[in-house]
């Protein structure tokens, strides 16, 4: 998608489709209160063209509601699309992001290849540069489709997207915001493209190759290791997951080292990269197992975040560790009751782990990934994983889960959410959950029973993070979208990329 700003009045833009945004300005409440749709873009010609439909009562400006006008009088655009934002008082960057995605996805079944979107008038809550960044992100995310392998696939992507800005806008600031939006949106789509790949097309080895190609393209340092390195580092937890597969594991390391930054924090990003998860010997039911190709969404999110970080160039050092493997149930696979030894820390032996359920494998690879990130110098940690079904039970498909052992570190992440628009809810850690994973035969066990499953999984990782400031993101409920939404395609969501990037930038 070619993305650009224009400072021409929207009425003068020649385009196949001009999109404008409208909100419900009605503040009264009660059964007699009726929606009052109001255009948020200036210009007498725009308001005149939209007046009849806005006053008809047919269009209520609900969030992502659309109405299309052909040959709008007074405009050079062939069509005018009005996209609703919901209540005007509640409009924020995320609502604008979704509206832009809605406009782009509206074009697809109609084979409309170009559109312009009129920037809404700024408000105190969302300044113009934040509006531009959010809208561009939403447009790019909205353009992604998951039909990669259809033999009759037709390219219905938008070829040109223009954002109409006020003539008196700060052009340099808006151009910078546009560039940031493109980088972050394309990085989120990069993550989605990885998560969308079938297990036979994206093995751990191929994921490593994709990581190396991306790193070379954006200027990251990288290493990709396999079985020999796991044995050298004594990564017994990571290796135990991969030992049942014909496909070798991949230990992916990406480094962002900005010029002139030789001190300060080193941020460690650790991702679960299970390219297919059968559950191992504790095999999953067949229903929906095909979706287990998405079990590397945490690792893919870290790769997408590193892509964006390399291009945005924040002044902080970042290391990413992605632990990629298949979890398969052959004769070499680990068994319930086995005891595995995790990677040793610098000054102490590796923790021993009793395997209760081989389908609790993500925490095993992350355990060694976290220890390795610390060994590489990480002073602050964040991990992301499709770790537990329990997080979806706890939070539904609305929020992802977040855990942390450090309030100051988490406060930075919480602040980052205001920019990213993603929804995470902080969940508890505690000694009571740690008690549930104590083992009689070893140090810890890899599941803590039915109750508090997301919290006991987080406590398992806490054992390896120790006192290093650390955040754990359990994205299992949000990494895959099953229902049709007007602003994003069904399939991989790329959740986490935007929030991780903004967290890194806060340093």
Domain that holds residue 97: 2-169
pTM higher than the cut 0.85: yes
Model confidence over 68-123: pLDDT tens digits?
Answer: 999 999 999 999 999 999 999 999 999 999 999 999 999 999 999 999 999 998 77
Look at residues 322, 302, 337, 501 and name the one whose alpha carbon lies nearest to residue 419.
501
Whether residue 160 is found in the same domain as residue 250: no
Examine residue 490 and state whether it is found in any structural domain, yes or no.
Answer: no
Look at residues 249, 253, 197, 212 and name the one whose alpha carbon lies nearest to residue 228.
249
- Here the CATH number for the domain that contains residue 430 is 3.40.630.10
Model confidence over 415-451: pLDDT tens digits?
Answer: 999 999 999 999 999 999 999 999 999 999 999 999 9
- Reported for 43-49, long-range contacts at CB under 8 A and 24+ positions apart, including other chains, are 43/9, 43/10, 43/11, 43/118, 45/9, 45/10, 45/11, 45/74, 45/75, 46/10, 46/11, 46/20, 46/75, 46/118, 48/73, 48/74, 49/73, 49/74, 49/75, 49/80
Whether residue 106 is found in the same domain as residue 251: no
Res. 32: pLDDT tops 80: no
**121, two tokens:** 């008038």
**Residue matched to tokens 């999953």:** 284
Provide the domain count of the chain. Answer: 2
Would the CA dihedral through 300, 306, 308, 311 be positive or negative? negative
Would the CA dihedral through 364, 365, 370, 375 be positive or negative? positive
506 CB-near residues (< 8 Å, 6+ apart): 412, 415, 416
78 tagged catalytic:
no
Q: What pLDDT score was predicted for residue 481?
A: 97
284 tagged catalytic:
yes
- Here the CATH number for the domain that contains residue 20 is 3.40.220.10
- Interhelix angle 497-505/407-420, rounded to 10 degrees, is 120
Whether residue 120 is found in the same domain as residue 38: yes
Whether residue 102 is found in the same domain as residue 221: no
Examine residue 442 and state whether it is found in any structural domain, yes or no.
Answer: yes
Catalytic residue among 192, 363, 445, 498: 363
Q: How far apart are the first and last CA of the chain?
A: 31
- Interhelix angle 171-196/128-142, rounded to 10 degrees, is 30
**Residue 248: how many CB atoms within 10 A of its CB?**
17
Catalytic residue among 87, 284, 291, 485: 284
- Classified as helix, coil or strand, 86 is strand
Whether residue 362 is found in the same domain as residue 304: yes
Examine residue 431 and state whether it is found in any structural domain, yes or no.
Answer: yes
Q: Note whether 6 and 163 are within 8 A (CB).
A: yes
Whether residue 154 is found in the same domain as residue 215: no
With bands split at pLDDT 50, 70 and 90, how would you rate the model's confidence at 125? confident
């Amino acid at each position: 998608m070619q993305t650009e700003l224009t400072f021409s009045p929207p009425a003068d833009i020649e385009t196949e489709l001009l999109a404008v945004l409208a909100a419900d300005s009605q503040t009264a409440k009660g059964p007699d209160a009726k929606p009052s749709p109001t255009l948020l873009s200036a210009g007498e010609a725009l308001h005149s063209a939209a007046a009849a439909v806005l006053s008809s009562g047919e269009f209520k400006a609900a969030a992502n509601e659309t109405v299309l006008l052909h040959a709008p009088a007074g405009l050079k655009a062939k069509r005018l699309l009005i996209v609703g934002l919901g209540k005007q008082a509640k409009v924020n960057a995320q609502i604008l992001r979704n509206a832009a995605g809605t406009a782009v996805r509206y074009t697809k079944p109609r084979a409309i290849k170009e559109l312009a979107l009129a920037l809404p008038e700024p408000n105190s809550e969302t300044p113009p540069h934040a509006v531009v960044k959010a809208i561009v992100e939403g447009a790019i995310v909205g353009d992604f489709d998951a039909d990669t392998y259809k033999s009759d696939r037709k390219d219905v992507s938008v070829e040109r997207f223009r954002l109409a800005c006020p003539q008196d806008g700060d052009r340099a600031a808006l151009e910078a915001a546009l560039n940031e939006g493109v980088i972050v949106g394309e990085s989120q789509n990069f993550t989605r493209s990885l998560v969308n790949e079938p297990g036979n097309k994206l093995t751990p080895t191929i994921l490593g190759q994709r990581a190396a190609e991306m790193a070379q393209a954006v200027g990251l340092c990288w290493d990709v290791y396999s079985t020999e390195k796991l044995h050298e580092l004594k990564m017994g937890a990571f290796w135990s997951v991969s030992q049942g597969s014909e496909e070798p594991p991949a230990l992916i390391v990406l480094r962002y080292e900005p010029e002139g930054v030789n001190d300060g924090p080193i941020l460690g990003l650790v991702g679960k990269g299970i390219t297919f998860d059968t559950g191992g010997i504790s095999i999953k039911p067949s229903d929906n197992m095909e979706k287990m190709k998405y079990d590397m969404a945490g690792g893919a999110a870290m790769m997408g975040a590193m892509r964006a970080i390399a291009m945005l160039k924040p002044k902080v050092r970042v290391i990413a560790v992605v632990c990629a493997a298949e979890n398969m149930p052959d004769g070499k696979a680990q068994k319930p009751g086995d005891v595995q030894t995790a990677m040793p820390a610098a000054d102490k032996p590796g923790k021993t782990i009793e395997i209760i359920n081989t389908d609790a494998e993500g925490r095993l690879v992350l355990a060694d990934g976290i220890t390795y990130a610390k060994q590489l110098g990480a002073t602050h940690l964040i991990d992301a994983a499709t770790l537990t079904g329990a997080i979806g039970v706890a939070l539904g498909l609305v929020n992802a889960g977040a855990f942390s052992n450090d309030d100051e570190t988490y406060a930075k992440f919480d602040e980052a959410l205001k920019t990213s628009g993603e929804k995470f809810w902080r969940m508890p850690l505690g000694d009571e959950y740690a008690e549930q994973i104590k083992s009689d035969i070893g140090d810890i066990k890899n599941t803590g029973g039915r109750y508090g499953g997301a919290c006991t999984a987080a406590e398992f990782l806490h054992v390896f993070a120790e006192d290093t400031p650390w955040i754990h993101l359990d994205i299992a409920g949000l990494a895959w979208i099953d229902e049709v939404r007007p602003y994003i395609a069904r399939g991989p969501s790329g959740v986490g990329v935007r929030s991780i990037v903004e967290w890194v930038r806060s340093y």
